[in-house]
Structure 1
Amino acid sequence: MTNTTTHLTANAANLLSEPEAGRIRAIKSRRWVLYPRAKQTLDRLEELLEHPRGTRMPSIAIYGDSGMGKTTIMKRFRDQHPPSFDRKSGVLKTPVLAMEMVSRPGERRFYGELLTLLGAPQAPRADIAQMEQAALRIMAAIGVKVLVIDEVHNIIAGTYREQRIVLNTLRFLSNRLQISLVCFGVNEAREAIGGDVQLTRRFEQITLGRWAANEDYETLVTSILRNTPLRNPSVLTLKSLRRILQITDGVTANIFQIINSIAIDAIENGNECITDSTVEKWMPTFDTDAAVA
């Protein structure tokens, strides 16, 4: 067993002092692993925060199959810009506000969800105009610059009229508050946003496609291994990389799951590394068509 930790990131190396149960718990927990595709997406989102305020603010739509890491990237972006207290104004500033698009959305349900997120639920008898003004007032006061909407494909669950109303609402919020929109959704979300031509023109599209056998995929696996607290280095050949890709169907969540599962076995059996042999013997326990984003 090696005594060096050069094969790990600093955070992963620090976990080696934990008992086995602690390391296994860390592996099972949702943890952030930086890889080029995620970094490129986050860098682009950062640019929205720095963009001068004005009319027709640029926005980004991020599409991908379920399990491709959209929600993880969204949460990372949100967590990197938490609310901060402005002593001068006495207001908790929130540059990034993240919400999930409600199922079967309509204008009232959308504003209701938004106001609840803002900590200002409305009275049952409040009309839409009152809800709208309350949302505008609070969002302006707390300094929202980017409104992030996860599961934006839920829009298409509504009727055509409901879809148009919600899309008009998003465009109105962007115009009135001079904020950027970031929408995350499965590939069908293109249809949802495409329902408003004016809104569509503002969106830069980023697609998180399934992984293929290339350098980016190898970098992803290397990044996961470097963030997995095993005492010995894990060295995988191209054969093992191809097997992982085949089993997981190129879905990010599944790739994490297979590596995490083998890593836990490696801790429990004392091998403390992932090898070609353990990859070859591993059998999938998940449905590649039912990955979670």
Structure 2
Amino acid sequence: MNDTIPHLTADAAALLSETSTGRIRAIRSRRWVLYPRAKQALDRLEALLEHPKGTRMPSVAIYGDSGMGKTMIMKRFRDQHPPVFDRRTAVLKTPVLAMEMVSRPGERRFYGELLTQLGAPQAPRADIAQMEQAALRIMGAIGLQVLVIDEVHNILAGTYREQRIVLNTLRFLSNRLQISLVCFGVNEAREAIGGDVQLARRFEQLTLSRWAANEQFETLVASILRNTPLRRPSVLTPKALRRILQITDGITANIFLMLGSLAIEAIESGSERITDDAVAAWVPAFDTETAFA
């Protein structure tokens, strides 16, 4: 079908058989769109799974402003490596485990959240040593290779002592289990991880900077449009692209929101394409500086 609708991907073209309501629902849903910057991040994370176990496992930290797509990349990586049941051992092998750093860091709260994500029952009166041993035992049994931690900047909400304890815990888990760590956070997260020099040295840093007027931005917009089920191709001039960049402040989530809103307008009006005039007339219903804070 994609051969007859060259301006769309096969999945987007398939949606053209839906009603207008169905297409609008698809546009409003959280869609994964592969673009070069996201692919670069995913390729680096994939390399962690292929790295042989050793005493100093490589890790990756991905930083960026809120709304730059960090969580979407994290979920994509996790979803591409779901748990698989090993019939031979009757164990659910889990190569990638994702969790969110607790809002107020502390060893007990960290292990509590980790055990919750592992689906492990927790004894109300268990001490930290017992929780630690339970986490180590389960993570070893499921064959964990990469522990992913979102919102790692939350470490900064703790006292200096609490921050040190959590960072020591991350380094301990990586050493003991010979696993890689992946941390996602806003730019302030550099300070959080930097609180442990030995740990920080293991991290390769990737930064998701705000978009600028360049070829990468044009590729992002083109990728979004190819995944948007409109019956006619949308051809935008450099002036329209600059307008999109200006309104969205170069924030990925804002760009998706704007183009999605314009696509819905195009379906409802029957024009079935996004035009320069529509871009020029579009007024955001959000404050770009706070909508994704």
TM tier, smaller: over 0.9
Tell me, yes or no, if the aligned pair for 1:155 and 1:163 is still in contact at 8 Å: yes
Moved more, 112-121 or 40-49: 112-121
CA-based RMSD of the aligned residues comes to 1.0
Secondary structure of 2:183's partner? strand
How far residue 252 of structure 1 moved from its aligned partner, in angstroms, is 0.3
1:152 maps to 152
Amino acid at match of 2:92: L
Inter-CA distance 72–291: structure 2 relative to 1 (3 Å threshold): farther
Task: Kindly report structure 1 stretches of 4+ aligned residues shifted beyond 2 Å.
Answer: 290-293
Residue 96 of structure 1 aligns with which residue?
Answer: 96
By how many angstroms is 1:207 displaced? 0.2
The separation in 1 between residues aligned to 2:123 and 2:290, in whole angstroms, is 39
Is 1:63 aligned with 2:44?
no
In structure 2, C-alpha distance between the alignment counterparts of 1:190 and 1:257, rounded to whole Å: 28
Q: Does 1:108 align with 2:87?
A: no
Letter in 2 for 1:202: R
User: Residue type matched to 1:23 in 2?
Assistant: R
Checking the alignment, whether the CA contact within 8 Å between 1:112 and 1:121 is kept in structure 2 is: no
Question: For the residues of structure 1 that align with 2:71 and 2:16, how far apart are their CA atoms?
Answer: 28
Q: Which residue of 2 aligns with 1:193?
A: 193
Distance 2:53 2:291 in 1: 38
CA distance in 2, matches of 1:30, 1:210: 20
Tell me the amino acid that sits aligned with residue 161 of structure 2. R
Shift of 1:99: 0.3
Query: When the two structures are aligned, how many residues end up with a matched partner?
Result: 291
Deviation at 1:121, TM superposition (A): 3.0
2:67 partner letter? G
User: Are the equivalent residues in 2 in contact too, given 1:236–1:276 (CA < 8 A)?
Assistant: yes
How far apart are the structure 1 equivalents of 2:141 and 2:55?
19
- Quote the offset at 1:290 in angstroms: 2.2
- The equivalent of 1:241 in structure 2 is 241
TM-score of the pair, normalised by structure 1: 0.98
User: Partner residue of 2:141?
Assistant: 141
Please state how far the C-alpha of 1:53 moved relative to its aligned partner.
Answer: 0.4
Distance 1:202 1:59 in 2: 6
- 1:185 positional shift: 0.1
Within 5 Å, give how 1:11-160 maps onto structure 2: 11-160=11-160
Give, in angstroms, the shift of residue 279 of structure 1: 0.4
Secondary structure of the corresponding residue to residue 290 of structure 1: coil
Distance 1:254 1:54 in 2: 41
| Cα separation, 2, equivalents of 1:243 and 1:121 | 52
SS in structure 1 of the partner of residue 289 of structure 2: helix
Query: Does 2:279 correspond to 1:284?
Result: no
Q: Which runs of 5+ in 2 are unaligned?
A: none
Give the AA of the match of 1:246: Q
Secondary structure, in 3 states, of the residue corresponding to 2:286?
A: coil
1:90 aligned partner, one-letter code? A
Please state how far the C-alpha of 1:285 moved relative to its aligned partner: 1.1
TM-score by length of 2: 0.98
Equivalent residue letter for 1:233: P
Shift of 1:122: 1.2
Using the TM superposition, give the Cα deviation of residue 87 of structure 1 relative to its aligned residue in structure 2, in angstroms: 1.0
* Offset at residue 4 of structure 1 (A): 4.1
Once residues 291 and 50 of structure 1 are traced to their aligned partners in structure 2, the CA distance between those partners, rounded to angstroms, is: 38
C-alpha separation in 2, matches of 1:44 and 1:161: 32
Structure 1: segments with no counterpart, 5+ residues: none
Residues of 1 paired with 2:23 and 2:100: CA distance? Answer: 32
Taking the aligned partners of 1:267 and 1:55, their CA distance within structure 2 comes to: 56
Residue 193 of structure 1 contacts residue 200 of structure 1 at CA under 8 Å; is this kept in 2?
A: yes
Q: Answer with 121-130 or 73-82: which moved more.
A: 121-130
